[in-house]
Chains A and B, each alone.
Chain A
Amino acid sequence: MTKYGLVIDQERCIGCHACAVTCKQENNVPMGQFWNRVLTEGGDHIDTPSGTFPDPGEASTLDMAYQPTACQHCENAPCVKVCPVNATYTRDDGIVEIDYDKCIGCRYCMAACPYNARVFNWDEPEQMPEEGTGDVPARPQGVVEKCTFCSHRVEEGLDPACVVNCPADARIFGDLDDETSTVTKYIDRYETDRLLEDRGTDPKTYYISGEMSPGRPQRSEKLESELDERPSASNSDDDADSGGDEGGYGDSGASHSLDGDPMPHVPAVKQGGDD
């Protein structure tokens, strides 16, 4: 089985909010809402540390870190259990997703989520520009929405937008059931925490703190947008045109089996993850 998960290296995170912004663009997240937000661990305000500036002869106690927070894609997801009409469900690959055509907008899932990861369309969602920037299904007024691990990208063999566009390589996406994946290796190798672990929700998002990891492995010299031809992926079951559906990323379809330097921990045949 595939079980997608995310590792976020808080030692690498520079608090640039690129993941939050790219998430908004990729998923047409409405104005006034965020699926993915970068929180400051430290002071009372964004980008402020806790502690005090060093006085002469004393050590500084200033401390600050960033905690990017989105849907944690819990194994024991309370939101899935409370949804009265099965609109929120766990996919076979572990991604917790919402069927926007089914959601009745009762917001019980928002009450259930301990992470406040879900947002509700209180009015007709508004994008800038009006037609949006991403190629994802539109969500109407009156339904709940949230991070999908960019399942539309994962199905194409791509990493989520927040992972690809993290300039610090602090986000690593992959299959937690695959012992050779980077995410599994990092979780074994580094000290990781999950948010509100005491609630027993068993999230599939892990946070590295303490020792910095090497970050997300780079697999190509080129950006997705620079790929001028589709990789000769032997295992690809995409048809020739499917890459064109990738809104905003031009000729994409970059998959895990780019030629060049396949990393040893990259799954050979799985779709998605570690691209």
Chain B
Amino acid sequence: MTDQPTSGRVVISEFGPRGKAWIGLLAALVVAGVVAWGYQLTTGLVVTGMRNVFSWGLYIMMFVLFVGLSAGGLIISSAPKFFHSDRYEGFARLGVLVSLGCITVAGLLILPDIGRPERLYQFFTTPDFRSPMVWDFGIVVLYGVLNTWYLWLLTRRDLAARGSRLAFGVEDTDGGRKRDRTLLFWTASLALPTAVALHSVTGWIFATQIGRGDWFSPLVAPVFIAKALVSGLGLLLVVSLLADRFTGFRVDREELASLGKILGIFLAFHVVYLLAAERLPHAWASHFEFWAITGTFLVGESAYFWLWTVLGGAVPLFMLAVPSLRKRPSVIFTAGLLAVFGTMFEGIRLVFTGYNVANIDLPPGISVGGEYGGITTDIWATTGSYTPTLVEVAITLGIVAIGALIVTLGLRYVPLQRTEGQPVHATDGGERGDR
């Protein structure tokens, strides 16, 4: 902690024309998503690309991605606080805001996946505590609450100083700021294990399932932690650079370069080490010749694998490893974007490996359900296939837009920028939370 109590300021003092256009776009996406969801509710999940063999799709894939994305900010801001350090302080508030946006998106993405959402109250009335989904439901809610509390705790004295109603009656006093620092330590020490639990439990939703191929692996939970670190930090760097470009938010270049290096380490751990650890035993056990083992180990089975490992792994890793490149904000921005992009395909690949092969694939196969078009309809499938429909894309985009709105409004109303005596920059309009 610094000796001087840190104070903060809002980075968007007023929405300019660009800011208003950005909010208008997000609002339009939300409206389109709500309309699409209404259509899906009345017509049924038949309007999605999911069917009996491939029964989870885009909603769950994006749920997995956004749970991971919600990690970065909270960890970057709470880990130093836990060790009483003020490193990366400049990212702390924005980080928690981005986490809050992401976990909200993740939680909301469950709704359209549910066939009868009006019955969701039964999570409270008749839960089965054996179900990993019940664990996950609990931890997502807890994580969301914790994020909200944390963000408010970080900023409430500044909000009070600005006379904002969001301070909810808290006063800006020196004693109060000191007390808050103690509270922040305790919140951080609760937030870190909660974050670990969130990603592990989300991994265990898949890792407990003996009926779905590669899902049943003890490595899934550690991989979820690793990809949360990679994608969460990647997103935080991307959003902070966008905020730096489009709002009054200023990124500390030294902290940025340092976080870029950390992203490189996370990438190496996830895409190189954990992936190798997962693949080698399978490749070794199923082949005899040296080159056959090596080939199976190195060569992936689907396009998703390559999109993830090369575009989302090797390329950003290279960018962050070369000393002459890795300090440039544009390089860090691109690497962060690719890391998020790659992690998305890792989640997509995971769902595909569970569903594209049926354990019992004897002909004629499994009845896929969905619209019945008469006697000539082929209702059978021996493998799973899935392409998301426009309705699914519209609903997903609408929910992501809600997250982007949370971040945008946070930039406007919550003092996110740590002030160190520098003059308040004139803002040039809206921010772009690319999410």
Contacts and interface: CB of A to CB of B under 8 A. Distances in A.
Contact of B370 (A41, A104, A107, A123): A123
B55 interface: yes
B364 A46 contact: yes
Nearest to A140: B116
B372 A85 contact: no
A144 B75 CA distance: 38
A39 B363 contact: yes
A200 interface: yes
Interface string A236-274: 000000000000000000000000000000000000000
A124 B359 CA distance: 28
B393 interface: no
B128 A113 contact: no
B317 to A, nearest CB: 32
B367 A32 contact: yes
B53 A116 contact: yes
A84 B122 CA distance: 9
Nearest to A67: B362
B210 A44 contact: no
Interface in B364-410: 364-372, 377, 379
A42 to B, nearest CB: 8
Contact of A111 (B45, B55, B123): B55
Nearest to B358: A116
Given A102-B122, A104-B116, A114-B210, A37 B45 contact: no
Interface stretch (A4-12, A75-83, A171-179): A75-83
A114 B115 contact: no
A41 B360 CA distance: 10
Given A107-B55, A112-B209, A69 B46 contact: no
A194 B359 CA distance: 14
Most-contacted residue by chain B among A33, A85, A114 (CB, 10 A): A85
Contacts of A67: 360, 362
Interface residues of A, number: 56
Interface string B219-253: 00000000000000000000000000000000000
Contacts of A82: 130-133, 208-209
B218 interface: no
A112 B212 CA distance: 7
Contacts of B367: 32-34, 37, 119
Interface in B116-132: 116-117, 119-120, 122-123, 126-128, 130-132
A37 B364 contact: yes
A66 B7 CA distance: 74
Nearest to B364: A46
Given A85-B123, A111-B211, A143 B116 contact: yes
Interface string A212-246: 00000000000000000000000000000000000
A78 B132 CA distance: 11
Contacts of B130: 81-82
Contacts of B144: none
B137 A84 contact: yes
B45 A116 contact: no
B370 A32 contact: yes
A85 B122 contact: yes
Contact of A43 (B48, B131, B205, B363): B363
Most-contacted residue by chain A among B43, B53, B366, B371 (CB, 10 A): B366
A116 B359 contact: yes
B371 A32 contact: yes
A23 to B, nearest CB: 12
B56 to A, nearest CB: 6
Contacts of B51: 122
Contacts of B114: 104-106, 142
A106 B359 contact: no
Contact of B369 (A102, A120, A143): A120
A102 B119 CA distance: 7
Contacts of B293: none
B72 interface: no
Interface of B: 43-46, 48, 50-53, 55-56, 113-117, 119-120, 122-123, 126-128, 130-134, 137, 205, 208-212, 354-355, 358-360, 362-372, 377, 379
19 contacts: A31-B372, A32-B372, A37-B364, A45-B364, A67-B360, A84-B123, A84-B134, A102-B126, A103-B115, A103-B116, A110-B52, A114-B211, A115-B360, A122-B44, A122-B370, A142-B44, A142-B115, A143-B115, A195-B360
